[in-house]
Amino acid sequence: MRFLPLCLLVFALLVFTATTHANPPLIPQDFAYLDDVIPGIRLEMDYYTAHNFVGKPIDGYIKPRAILSRPAADALAAVQQELSAFGLGLKIFDAYRPQRAVNHFVRWAADPDDNLMKSKHYPNIDKSKLFKEGYISSHSGHSRGSTVDLTLVSLSGEDIDMGGIFDFFGPESWPTAPTPSPSQRAHRMLLQTVMEKHGFAPYSQEWWHFTLKNEPYPDIFFDFPVE
């Protein structure tokens, strides 16, 4: 049996190591990109842009992609499949959220003079009350990887009228709010019903916000970037 000279063996090991680590996984093993798990799902990742309640791109969103824990992603795929039979689908506003993004929100909330997006996102609430009212927190379920913000769309991509925009801070955004029209409230109920059927729990103050009930990381807040 022949053996490689030591120098060649070392070289081979270096090449193997470099090749193996040239493209390391961007996300933990038990997480997935939603557009890989759910072909055709629509994304509108406002935190990657300046079109959000802060008015600036948010820390940690390097690419406009949506990531969830694999159990949450699989459950969401089942939601999409059920809706497709009725000519409907899902559009994602936000999924996994790095802790650094939450920290960005906290810094923004502490600045009383930064009200660039007040008229659009929180016209009837003083910014100083956003923490107390439950719209902003120092830790978010999104950072655990199994919470998602989403809405209904037609399979052709047209938005379904839900009676309010994503990240509107106020009682008008509660799933049970009486202010939307009957059809808008019915759309909210449809979304909540199908999400609950597939294992997600709603949030009482945001019609778009759902968390997988049996989330795999209930006590871990991740901080890897969205890229």
Catalytic positions, written as ranges: 206
Written as one letter, the residue type at 66 is A
State both tokens at 132. Answer: 């107390």
Mode of pairing for the β-strands spanning 88-94 and 147-154: antiparallel
**Distances 205 to 7, 140, 177, 185, 208 between C-alpha atoms, Å:** 64, 14, 9, 14, 9
Q: How far apart are CA 139 and CA 126, in angstroms?
A: 21
191-215 as b/e: b if 16+ CB within 10 A: bbebbeebbbbbbebbbbbbbbeeb
Classified as helix, coil or strand, 83 is helix
Q: Are 209 and 147 in contact (CB under 8 A)?
A: yes
Distance CA 141, CA 147 (A): 6
Closest CA to 146 of 191, 198, 108: 198
